[in-house]
Amino acid sequence: MFGRGVVANLLFFVMVMPGPATAAAPTQAIAIHKDGFVPAQLELPPGVKVKLTITNEGDLPVEFESFDLSREIIVPVHRSVTIFVGPLRAGRYEFFNDFNPAMRGNITVKPANEEMN
Amino acid sequence: MLATAIILFREVLEAALIIAIVMGASRGIARRGRWVAGGILLGVIGASMIALLASDIALKFEGKLSAILNAVILLSAVALLTWHNVWMKSHGRKLASDIATVGEDVETGRQPLTALMLLTFAAVMREGSEAVLFIWAIATSGQQGLDLASGALVGIVAGVLVGALLYRGLLRFPLRYFFSLTSWIILLLTAGLSAQAAGFLNQADLLPALGSQLWDSSHLLSQASLLGQLLHTLIGYIARPSGIEVVFYVGTILIMLILMRLFGKSNPRTERHQRVTIRQTTS
């Protein structure tokens, strides 16, 4: 019962997906204080996978969420969690605390060729 | 109070919509209400346990386990919904004609009741653990307890109401087309859940993104809007999807359609053997 759909899905993936990238991803830390994300605005490089380490230094649990990045994770009080984003295209990606939507921030990714001009 | 209500509303909405569709799709099957209610109860218990364990889980696995847990719950729901649609493909027509002739509450040979319960359990557990964690946090923070509690209650009631409205709306559809309508809705709903699971697995770096942002329709319909969120739950709308999400979405639709075609045929011989009994509504 559990699964022909799932098994077939997984099989599908093994066939189409390239091997996982093994290069170490650059890391960016985000702290959550009582008043918001620190930093609330961050810039990430285009085209690479980035590891985000999110640490909750406040006294309430936080749900770090981003519709733009399809990311959603609970960050318990005084804990750190790690998620991966990207490789991202140039653009702006918003994130927020789903438990307190006034707490927000965004990621900016600049185009790769800008420096070459 | 309003802020709390909105947060709880959003947490409850997804589970409420899934339950409404499942209740609609299993229309006419006797005792389904009891099984779905059991699933909700188990879901709330499971959600509370997850919420209590959340900090330990995060400590040990730095977020990887919670993403895997979410993906497993979602993929279980995907498997159950796929099975439900395959089952309905072969029993839907009979069910519809029985409802038309004898009224609701039909006893069928093999009832998908356990599947219904597990499905409700999964839907409630996933969103519920976040709701429980949120309520617990505001309860222990000790600020304006009553105000926040009433906000939470308003949010939960509003979420359940939207689910009830969807259910009532579904029931207005003519019986002839009813089960094919719910089957199509479930197909898209399931594809959406599968795409969400892909998002979680990619977040934990267990699946590649296969290209970020295949398109960006957030200026047309933002996922933060109520309509965007409704469509996200019902048909899996994602404004800026990654490749892996689209692959899971399309792959799930194709696999479901193939399974429905392969295993969902009405077989007159087995139907005769199944001895379908029908009873009149007593309550």
A96, A36 Cβ separation under 8 angstroms: no
Nearest neighbour of A79 by CB, restricted to B59, B223, B241: B59
3-state secondary structure of A67: coil
Cβ of A20 within 8 Å of Cβ of B130? The answer is no
Using an 8 Å CB-CB cutoff, list chain B residues near A88.
212-213
CB contact under 8 A, A70 and B208: no
Question: Cα distance from A22 to chain B (closest Cα, Å)?
Answer: 11
CA-nearest of B186, B177, B199, B162 to B235 is B186
Query: pLDDT category, B271, cuts 50, 70, 90?
Result: very low
Q: Residue B176: what pLDDT?
A: 84
Amino acid identity at B63 = G
B51 lies in some domain:
yes
Nearest of B32, B259, B127, B126 to residue A1 by alpha carbon:
B259
When mean pLDDT is compared over B54-63, B147-156, B244-253, the highest value belongs to B244-253
Question: Which residues in chain B have Cβ-Cβ distances shorter than 8 Å to A2?
Answer: 76, 79
In a domain, B278, yes or no: no
Would you say residue B262 has pLDDT above 50? yes
Interface ipTM above 0.90: no
Predicted pLDDT at A21: 47
Q: Is residue B275 in some structural domain?
A: no
Q: Which residues of A touch B62 (CB under 8 A)?
A: 80-82
Question: Quick one: pLDDT band at residue A87, thresholds 50, 70, 90?
Answer: very high
What is the span of the domain harbouring residue B139? 2-266
Among the partner-chain residues A5, A59, A80, the one whose CB lies closest to the CB of B256 is A5
Using DSSP's 3-state secondary structure scheme, residue B195 falls into: helix
Number of structural domains chain B divides into: 1
Q: What is the Cα–Cα distance from B248 to A11, expressed in whole angstroms?
A: 12
Nearest by CB to A9, from B70, B204, B252: name it.
B252
Of the pLDDT bands very low, low, confident and very high (cuts 50, 70, 90), residue B270 is very low
pLDDT in tens, A34-62: 889 999 999 999 999 999 999 999 988 89
CATH number for the domain running over A24-116: 2.60.40.420
Residue A52 phi/psi, 5-degree rounding, is: -105, 125
Q: Classify residue B280 as left (phi > 0), alpha (psi -120 to 50) or beta.
A: beta
Expressed in angstroms, the distance from the first to the final Cα of chain A is 58
Chain A interface includes B141 (CB < 8 A): yes
pLDDT digits (tens, 9 = 90+) for B167-219: 999 999 888 888 889 899 999 999 999 999 999 999 999 999 998 889 999 99
- Provide the H-helix boundaries in chain B: 2-25, 32-61, 64-102, 113-141, 145-171, 175-203, 226-235, 243-263, 268-273
Every domain of chain A and the residues it spans: 24-116
B276 inside domain: no
For residue B261, give the amino acid letter. Answer: R
Query: Residue length, chain B?
Result: 283
